[in-house]
Structure formats: structure tokens, C-alpha cells
Amino acid sequence: MKTTLKRLGNSDYKLYNTDGSCMATTKESPHKKLSKQNCDEIFKTLIVEETTTEIEVEIEMVCSHPSDTYRCGLEFGCDEDGCNNPNQVQHLDENGCLILRKII
């Protein structure tokens, strides 16, 4: 799922949906959580100029198979190229934060 990650100042980030609504933030809020470390790493590897404040990212998605949410296999139509199952959920880290990856 493609989204826009915006850097607000030096320490806060917000993730926006394609319609412009906020999906997640590094601050305390009713929205989903973002990992500041994950956001910092994405910006550090992509920034050409220090003034860059927003970039496109993807939310990592994983299988939502009833037997095991985070693992999939050939029995579910998945292979080493990834999940082919249309029923996927947003992947969260151990702290409950969305996992983002840069779009190359």
C-alpha cells in the first residue's frame, strides 16, 4: 500500500493515505503507531537535501492466514516471490508499529 511519509521537524513523522488523511504518527494519538527509528532510517537513506520533508513509502503487508498470520507457504498460494493471497494485513513490529519500506 503506497503512502506518503512526512517529516515534521527533527523528531516527528506522520503517514498519510492517498486521500490525504493521517494514518499513523510517531506521537501519541488515536492513529496507528510509527517507529521513529524506522522513519529515521528511511529518510537517512533517501534524502538528497536536508530540506526534503516528504517521501513515498509502502506499508509492509503480510498474509492473514488463520493458521499463522505472519508466515505463508505454497499451501496458501504463496512462494519465494511473496504472498499472492489477497487477504493481507499491515505488518507490525514487536512494538505494534507499522513497518514501512522505501519505494525504489
Encode pLDDT of 33-82 as tens digits.
Answer: 999 999 988 888 765 566 778 889 999 887 766 555 445 555 555 655 56
Phi–psi pair at 78, nearest 5 degrees? -115, 155
Where in the sequence is the domain holding 66, given as residue range(s)? 2-102
What DSSP character marks residue 75?
A: G
What is the rounded average pLDDT for all residues in the chain?
80
What's the structural domain count of the chain? Answer: 1
Cβ–Cβ under 8 Å, residues 59 and 3 = yes
Measured CA angle at 3 (ends 97, 95), to 5 deg: 5
Using alpha carbons only, what angle is made at residue 12 by residues 6 and 15, rounded to the nearest 5 degrees?
35
